[in-house]
């Protein structure tokens, strides 16, 4: 008899238990109604005896069916009810054996039933009591010789409670997944070549397990889940032996959906595998079972975050015929997720803004941010988008590579034109939602250019700190040395956004392609800035260069590094202001005749970086010359002159 019919019969028997109890009570009441004599009047109770006999025969058949086909499914309650019915029959027929010869057959069934059930029950309890002893014996054996305990169920089995209607949005992916599942179920019925295997891949946190269960719910099939921990064993040689048991269990529940989570841990690329013999055997056996499971009614679904780590033989057609990416949630899915997690506390405008700006965030990230905002705003009824922004930064846990001593924009020494442009950019970055609602924008990229030491790198850090954006820094040389660094940088910025990506010495990687041997990398970076696979909101590229004339013209066009900020050596007034701030903060005094304006005049034409070093060298000279009876360190004109000469010599 097939496993499907067996499961149907067993489930039917379980459903008979309450019916048995109710009907048995009714039969007893009917049998005693108006007749307390143990010996019944055969004429009066012929109808009762007929119904009673049929019912008893049915119960006897069920018990025998259980015993013969699957003794582990014997239900003690129905067996006891069977014994009660037989005893009642015996009571009612006392002294009338000749009229009911079939009672002897039923009595024999009772005896066989009790003996077999008692035997199986004793055997089962004995096995249960022996488990601890077996475990102790196995722990005492060497690892090579140990035999693990056999597991009854390697899979978690449940009827799914969700369907595709519970998944908002993602229409194209749901349609493709459903078509794949239906194709697997019906292909053998149509006489077509059997197809099987659905491989779900994509970034973590986007609901691959959820989608697999929704598929099972849509097809109304049992859902069997298997994790790596269910298969991988500490016993040498045991992991490969568990794989066939998993598929046998799935066949016993067919039709069903068998789901492998983190399948890359089981189907590791054998070319990159270490010398572990078990791992290689596990891959080989699993590949074989994936082929053999076809036409069984079992839909195999596997999920991985790392498609590139799977063995090449596993991802070909014949093992996994359907490869479906589970992408980040689309706009409809994001909107529904944000609204459902907010539980009515989020302003509608905030829902729409978050839906628009959180493109590319995973399901788990969106859920965590909204929940964090809800917890942090318990005292208020409504949550704003600003609350979501603060919650997002707490969930991210970091802001990139910002140093603690990064100053504010007011603390920078800048030329007026550069300061005005940076203040404008910082204002727009701080209020990006408001600015865009009024028709304004922030650029995709900004070019910082000017002589060395004029504060381009520090200004980029300060801009990020002022706007409360994360900051990632990379040099053009780094991007040329590692072609994968661009993808890694974009992915990291997407996770940390709002984020500034600062490219120092950008003329190395964005050089004129006509004269560059790295044109392919330049093209890749420009495509990433353009957002060739979808522009990521709230990511700003800042490129710094000392040689803007060496950069490719395509990098400077609109839509890439549209806005440009020139950094130049400070003029006399700016330099004087810087030196006055330095004097107020330094633990030295200026000697007689030395003033901020005189120092500024002597250092005019130097960059701020050079001026800072010259002043520090002057302090060092003054300390070395310091007289013991003089409690103050005074900077003299000679200190400035010598420090300037040393700096120019180094330059």
Judge whether residue 156 has pLDDT over 90.
no
Indicate whether 144 belongs to any domain.
no
pLDDT at 234: 44
Q: Which of 68-72, 453-457, 581-585, 590-594 has the lowest mean pLDDT?
A: 68-72
Do 170 and 292 fall into the same domain?
yes
Question: Does any domain span residue 478?
Answer: yes
Residue 430, domain CATH = 3.40.50.300
Task: Determine the Cα angle at 152 with ends 151 and 153, to 5°.
Answer: 95
pLDDT in tens, 548-599: 999 999 999 888 999 999 999 999 999 999 999 888 888 788 888 889 999 9
Residue 546 phi/psi, 5-degree rounding, is -90, -10
- Which of the pair, 243 or 501, is modelled with greater confidence? 501
Residue among 209, 221, 214 nearest 164 (CA): 214
414 and 389 assigned to the same domain: no
Expressed as residue numbers, the domain containing 533 is: 409-566
Say how far apart CA 490 and CA 495 lie, in whole Å: 9
Residue finishing a domain among 325, 359, 387? 325
Asked if the structure places residue 143 within a domain, the reply is no
1 falls in which pLDDT band (50, 70, 90)? very low
Which has more confidence, 422 or 266?
Answer: 422
Q: Is the pLDDT of residue 283 over 70?
A: yes
Computed over every residue of the chain, the mean pLDDT equals 78
- Predicted confidence at residue 18, as pLDDT, reads 52
Q: Output the pLDDT for position 108.
A: 59
Asked if residue 212 is part of any domain, the answer here is yes
Q: In the prediction, which pLDDT does 152 show?
A: 47
Q: What is the pLDDT of residues 394-411, one digit of tens each?
A: 888 776 767 778 888 888
Number of domains in the chain: 5
Instruction: Check whether residue 422 and residue 559 sit in a common domain.
Output: yes
- Report yes or no on whether pTM surpasses 0.85: no
Choose the weakest-confidence range: 180-194, 298-312, 411-425: 180-194
101 lies in the same domain as 189: no
Q: Clarify whether residues 337 and 310 are in a common domain.
A: no
- Percent with pLDDT over 90 in the chain: 34
The mean pLDDT value for 29-42 works out to 50
What are 643's two structure tokens?
């420090």
- In a domain, residue 130? The reply is no
Lowest mean pLDDT among 218-227, 452-461, 527-536: 527-536
**Which of 561, 527, 523 has its CA nearest to residue 545?**
561
Query: pLDDT value at position 366?
Result: 93
Give the mean model confidence (pLDDT) for residues 115-130: 49
Q: Which of 299, 325, 351 is the last residue of a domain?
A: 325
Query: How much is the pLDDT for 500?
Result: 95
Task: Please say if the pLDDT value at position 197 is more than 50.
Answer: yes
Strand pairing category for 223-226 and 156-158: antiparallel
Residue 326 has pLDDT above 50, yes or no: yes
**pLDDT at residue 177 greater than cutoff 90:** yes
Does 42 share its domain with 188? no
Q: What is the pLDDT of residue 533?
A: 66
Looking at 167-176, 271-280, 621-630, which range is the least confident one?
Answer: 271-280
Q: List the CATH number of the domain containing 626.
A: 1.10.8.60
Report residue 142: phi and psi, to 5°: -65, 155
Per-residue pLDDT at 125:
44
Q: How many CB atoms lie within 10 A of CB 588?
A: 18
pLDDT at 74: 47
150: pLDDT strictly greater than 50: no
Residues 287 and 414 occupy one common structural domain: no
Q: State whether 115 and 173 are in the same domain.
A: no
Question: Does residue 325 register a pLDDT over 90?
Answer: yes
Does 132 fall in a domain? no
CA–CA dist 471, 401 (Å, integer): 6
Q: Which two tokens stand for residue 122?
A: 């004793």
448 DSSP β-pair partners = 544, 565
Q: How much is the pLDDT for 583? A: 86
- Match 């899979």 to its residue by tokens: 155
Q: Is the pLDDT of residue 413 over 50?
A: yes
Q: Which residue has the higher pLDDT, 27 or 149?
A: 27
Clarify whether residues 285 and 351 are in a common domain. Answer: no
Is the pLDDT at 612 greater than 80? The verdict is yes
Do the domain assignments include residue 140? no
Whether residue 147 has pLDDT greater than 70: no
The predicted structure's pLDDT at residue 222: 92
Judge if 348 and 428 occupy the same domain: no
**Is residue 137 situated within a structural domain?**
no
Residues 206 and 241 grouped into a single domain:
yes
Helix (H, G, I), strand (E, B) or coil at 111: helix
Q: What is the token pair recorded at 599?
A: 């120092």
pLDDT at 631: 59
Domain C-terminal end among 348, 368, 396: 396
Do residue 343 and residue 438 come from a single domain? Answer: no
């Amino acid at each position: 008899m097939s496993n499907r019919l067996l499961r149907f019969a067993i489930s039917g028997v379980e459903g008979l238990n309450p019916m048995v109890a109710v009907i048995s009570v009714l039969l007893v009441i009917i049998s005693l109604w108006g007749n307390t004599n143990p010996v019944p009047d055969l004429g009066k109770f012929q109808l009762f005896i007929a119904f009673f006999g049929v019912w008893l025969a049915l119960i006897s058949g069920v018990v025998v069916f259980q015993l013969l086909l699957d003794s582990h499914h014997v239900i003690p309650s129905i067996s006891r009810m069977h014994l009660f019915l037989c005893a009642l029959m015996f009571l009612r027929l006392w002294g009338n054996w000749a009229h009911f010869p079939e009672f002897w057959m039923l009595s024999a069934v009772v005896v066989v039933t009790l003996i077999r059930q008692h035997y199986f029950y004793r055997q089962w309890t004995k096995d249960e009591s022996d488990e601890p002893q077996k475990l102790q014996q196995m722990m005492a054996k060497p690892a090579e010789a140990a035999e693990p305990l056999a597991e009854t169920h390697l899979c978690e089995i449940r009827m799914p409670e969700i369907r595709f209607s519970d998944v908002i949005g993602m229409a194209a992916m749901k349609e493709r997944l459903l078509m794949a599942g239906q194709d697997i179920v019906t292909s053998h019925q149509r006489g077509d070549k059997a197809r099987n295997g659905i491989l779900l891949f994509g970034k973590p946190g986007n609901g691959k397990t959820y989608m697999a269960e929704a598929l099972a719910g849509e097809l109304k099939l049992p859902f069997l889940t298997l994790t790596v921990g269910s298969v991988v064993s500490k016993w040498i040689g045991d992991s490969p032996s568990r794989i066939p048991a998993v598929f046998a269990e799935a066949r016993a529940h067919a039709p069903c959906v068998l789901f492998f989570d983190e399948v890359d841990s089981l189907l590791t690329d054998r070319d990159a595998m270490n010398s572990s013999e078990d791992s290689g055997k596990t891959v080989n056996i699993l590949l074989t079972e994936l082929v053999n499971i076809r036409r069984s009614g079992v839909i195999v679904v596997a999920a991985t975050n790392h498609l590139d780590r799977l063995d090449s033989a596993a991802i070909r057609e014949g093992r996994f015929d359907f490869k479906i990416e589970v992408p980040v949630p689309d706009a409809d899915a994001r909107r529904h997720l944000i609204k459902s997690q907010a539980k009515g506390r989020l302003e509608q405008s905030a829902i729409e803004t978050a839906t628009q700006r959180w493109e590319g965030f995973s399901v788990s990230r969106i859920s965590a941010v909204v929940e964090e905002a809800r917890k942090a705003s318990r005292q208020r009824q409504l949550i704003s988008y600003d609350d979501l922004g603060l919650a997002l930064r707490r969930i991210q846990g970091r802001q990139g590579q910002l140093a603690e001593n990064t100053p504010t924009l007011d603390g920078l020494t800048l030329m007026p034109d550069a300061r005005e442009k940076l203040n404008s950019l910082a204002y727009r970055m701080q209020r990006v939602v408001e600015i865009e609602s009024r028709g304004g924008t922030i650029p995709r990229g900004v070019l910082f250019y000017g002589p060395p030491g004029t504060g381009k790198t520090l200004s980029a850090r300060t801009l990020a700190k002022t706007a409360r954006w994360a900051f990632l820094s990379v040099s053009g040389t780094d991007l040329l040395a590692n072609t994968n660094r661009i993808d890694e940088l974009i992915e990291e910025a997407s996770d940390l956004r709002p984020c500034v990506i600062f490219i120092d010495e950008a003329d190395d990687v964005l050089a004129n392609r006509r004269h560059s041997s790295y044109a392919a990398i330049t093209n890749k970076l420009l495509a990433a800035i353009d957002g060739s696979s979808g522009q990521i909101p709230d990511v700003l590229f800042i490129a710094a260069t000392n040689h803007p004339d060496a950069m490719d013209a395509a990098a400077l066009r609109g839509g890439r590094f549209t806005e440009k900020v020139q950094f130049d050596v400070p003029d006399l007034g700016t330099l004087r202001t810087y030196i006055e701030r330095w004097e107020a903060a330094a633990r030295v005094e200026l000697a007689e005749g030395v003033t901020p304006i005189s120092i500024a005049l002597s250092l005019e034409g130097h960059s701020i970086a050079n001026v800072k070093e010259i002043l520090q060298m002057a302090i060092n000279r003054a300390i070395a010359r310091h007289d013991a009876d003089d409690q103050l360190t005074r900077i003299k004109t000679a200190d400035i002159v010598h420090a300037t000469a040393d700096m120019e010599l180094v330059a």
